[in-house]
Structure formats: structure tokens, C-alpha cells
Amino acid sequence: MSQKQWIAGINAVSSALEHDAEHVREVLIEAGAKNPRLGEIENQARRLDIDVRRVGTQALDGVVGNLRHQGVVARYAAAKTWSENELEGLIEAAEGRALVLILDGVQDPHNLGACLRSAAAAAVTVVVFPKDKAVQVNATVRKTSAGAADTIPVIPVTNLARTMRELQQLGVWIYGLAGDAGASLYGLDLRGNVALALGGEADGLRRLTRENCDQLVSIPMPGGSNVESLNVSVAAGVCLFEAVRQRVPA
């Protein structure tokens, strides 16, 4: 089911036009703005036969509130909401090289957006997070993700522990990031069907999530800190690109 919303910012709007133009309903651009990228967005939208209007800054502020719009917003009907019953097909389509990111209770939309941006860059198969007690994909997430929220499968799930067990039944090995874990991230083989589970900003992985991991690991910290002291999006980037390093030929 499509959900109408506004997305804001040059990267977010440009990505929507490039990857999902059929769901962009109109583009509003700040009148008198001199940024050449806004002109490129306007020309791209007009080529795609999408309505473009030049409006005042106050009109843009009124549409997106406190979001930093950089002179452009778009009215957008999100193309696809991924559902839990599509998870099996996504894993099978990865043919033994699925890379799954599990986010357990991330609360800050900027953190979720940054995680999605890293996930897209790392060619993650799917991002999974709970429907409850976690931020969902909203306008702030879309902007922070620079379009990544529209280019990779993102599945909010009703019961995260159950979904993890389903992933295991599909042949996915789940590593959970925990500061008290003795094993190192860098000692893992991340080339097969792998899921990386990271906890939220406040408490890290919840008890049930930890218990449903196949193994808990940590990121080595020569400075003496632990994984909980890292921003979750930074930790996600470290983990995902260790998997990329192993998977991409030198």
C-alpha cells in the first residue's frame, strides 16, 4: 500500500526521481534559489512529466516543518512497503550470499537513516527492525538516508525474535554485536548467508535478541571503549564493510 508523504533535500528528491519517479507526484523548488543542482532536479522532473512549482521559502518550511529542505521538497507516494512474508524470497534470491542488517530498537531517525545509507552502499539484502519501540521510516529517515530508504528492502517485523529464528531456518547465521563478547568481529567468516544484529542507542541488544543470535562478537577497541559507546550507525558501517571487504575480490 502506498503512503503519501513529503521528502526533503537535494539528495533525497534526486534519488526518488532517479529510482522511483512514478511515485513522485510533484516537486516544489524554492523561488530564486541559485543552487545549480536545484535546476538539474527541475529539468529532470519536467523531462519525466512531473509537476514542478516554484514557491517561497515559507511554503517549503510549512510543508516539512523542522527538516532542512535545501530548497526542494517532493510529494511522494512510497513505492513499496515490504512485508514479512517476502523475507524468504529475498534470502533465497541472494543464492547463499545474503547480507542482512538487524536493528534492534533504534530510536533516532537520523541514526536509522545513516544505517540505511551504509546498508545500501554495502549492497545489503534486507534490513529488518521491529515495528514497536523503534523509529520507522519517516521523512527524516528518508532525507538522512539520501534515498537509500527507497532502494533497498526494509522490513519492519512484528516479532523480531521470531524473525531471527526464521532467518536461521533459511540458513542465515546471526552475529550479534555486544561490548562484553569475547570473540572479535575480525575473526569471523562473513562471506555466506550472514546477519549482523545491532542494538539501539540506549541499551544495546535486548535479552531475547541476544539469546537468538548464533554468536555474540565485539568490535576491537584499542582505546578501551566498547561497542555500546559507538553510535549505532558507525558500528553498522564498521560491521557491514568488514563483510564487504571479505566478499569483494582484492
Structure confidence at residue 136 (pLDDT)? 85
Judge if 47 and 158 occupy the same domain: no
Tell me: the pLDDT tens digits for 186-196?
999 999 999 99
Do residue 72 and residue 92 come from a single domain? Answer: no
What nine digits make up the cell of 15? 534519488
How many domains is the chain partitioned into structurally? 2
102 labeled binding residue: no
Q: What is the pTM of this model?
A: 0.75
Both 91 and 62 in a single domain? no
91 labelled as ligand-binding?
no
User: Which pLDDT belongs to residue 1?
Assistant: 35
- Both 146 and 182 in one domain: the answer is yes
Count of CB atoms situated within 10 Å of the CB of 245: 11
Instruction: Tell whether 59 and 136 lie within a shared domain.
Output: no
For residue 114, what are the contacts with CB-CB under 8 A and spacing of at least 6?
Answer: 144, 145, 233, 236, 237
- Give the residue ranges of the chain where pLDDT is below 70: 1-4, 78-81, 223-229, 250
Distance of CA 48 to the CA centre of its chain: 27
Torsion-angle region of 104 (φ positive above 0: left; ψ -120 to 50: alpha; else: beta): beta
φ/ψ (deg, to 5) at 203: -120, 0
Q: How many CB atoms lie within 10 A of CB 81?
A: 12
Domain that holds residue 64: 4-77
- Do both 120 and 213 map to the same domain? yes
Rounded-to-integer distance, Cα 10 and Cα 210, Å: 39
pLDDT for the residue numbered 21: 83
* pLDDT in the model for residue 135: 86
Whether the CA torsion 56, 57, 62, 67 is positive or negative: it is: positive
Let me know whether 175 and 196 are in one domain. Answer: yes
Per-residue model confidence as pLDDT tens digits over 79-131: 566 899 999 999 999 999 999 999 998 999 999 999 999 999 999 999 999 99
CA 159/CA 143 separation, integer angstroms: 27
* pLDDT for res 228: 56
219 annotated among ligand-binding-site residues: yes
Domain boundary among 77, 108, 142: 77
Q: Are residues 114 and 164 in the same domain?
A: yes
